[in-house]
Amino acid sequence: MKAIFNKEIQSFFSNAVGYLLIASFLILQAFLLWVFKGYSNLIYTGFASLTPFFNNSALIFIFLIPALTMKSFADEYTLGTLEILKTLPITNTQIVLGKFLAYLTIILILLAPTLVFVYSVYQLGNPIGNIDIGSVFSSYLGLLFLTTTYIAIGLFSSIYAKNSITSFILSLLINAVLYFAFSALEALSATSTFGWNTLGIPQHFDSMSRGVIDLKDVTYFLSISFLFLGFTRLKLDNA
């Protein structure tokens, strides 16, 4: 599994595209927080809160993570290395987990520089330090669980689509459905007691962003992650 992990990390950082994706995310977030006028601009709104950053991250990751994962298995099909991969002295589960952990590590590397935003808001508070650190921690944790879900969906899309572009579109579509569709159904069925929004990502992510770490929210993200990782391994078994 370590060999698969190292291979994915080296592949990502061996070309300029990986660095470009990380830089694009950080620059976009910086502009949203400090330059562009709107609800995300901390100076414009006058609130020392990182809630806009985390909300923006959840939306950006809908596009960014499919872009990261779209080649994970699709390239193995294209280069004809999938069979070689399966002959290695590791299980299919280890192959899937190796790729999953590699992309999770990449996202952690991407998020590390955003601690500068936390420090900036800490200094801008009135008085200095007037920021809810507990809420910031739970928001990062919520973003981490959200990331695991998007990565699992990305791996699933890549192994089933067998083409990087198709994988990107499929992963993007599934992410968008989980993020937007159920909230829309809840809004359309105002008289319904089913609770469509409980099936969507925003309710669970928003709950953690408010500083509430509830077992049902953690279970929601982990369940979807395990489901798509299971489907990925099943496809790999039959490839």
In whole numbers, what is the pLDDT of the chain averaged over residues?
Answer: 87
Is 2 a residue whose pLDDT tops 80? yes
Domains of the chain by residue range: 2-238
Convert the pLDDT of each residue in 49-88 to its tens digit. 788 889 999 999 999 999 999 999 998 888 888 888 878 8
CA distance 64 to 27: 14
Range in 28-37, 151-160, 189-198 with the lowest mean pLDDT: 189-198
Which parts of the chain are beta strand (E)? Answer: none
The pLDDT of residue 190 is 61
Range in 136-140, 187-191, 195-199, 219-223 with the lowest mean pLDDT: 187-191
What is the percentage of the chain residues whose pLDDT exceeds 90? 47
The pLDDT of residue 107 is 95
Torsions phi, psi of 146, nearest 5? Answer: -60, -40
- 93, 233 Cβ separation under 8 angstroms: yes
Range in 31-35, 87-91, 192-196, 210-214 with the lowest mean pLDDT: 192-196
Is 207 a residue whose pLDDT tops 90? no
Q: What band does 21 get if pLDDT is binned at 50, 70 and 90?
A: confident
Q: What is the mean pLDDT of residues 142-155?
A: 96
The pLDDT of residue 193 is 63
Match 């499919």 to its residue by tokens: 66
| 44-53, 120-129, 137-146, 197-206: which is most confident | 137-146
Positive or negative, the Cα torsion across 54, 98, 96, 78?
A: positive
Q: Which residue has the higher pLDDT, 89 or 172?
A: 172
Is 45 a residue whose pLDDT tops 70? no
For residue 127, whether the previous peptide bond is cis, meaning omega lies within 30 degrees of 0, is yes
Instruction: Please state the separation of Cα 102 from the chain's center in Å.
Output: 13
CA distance 119 to 213: 23
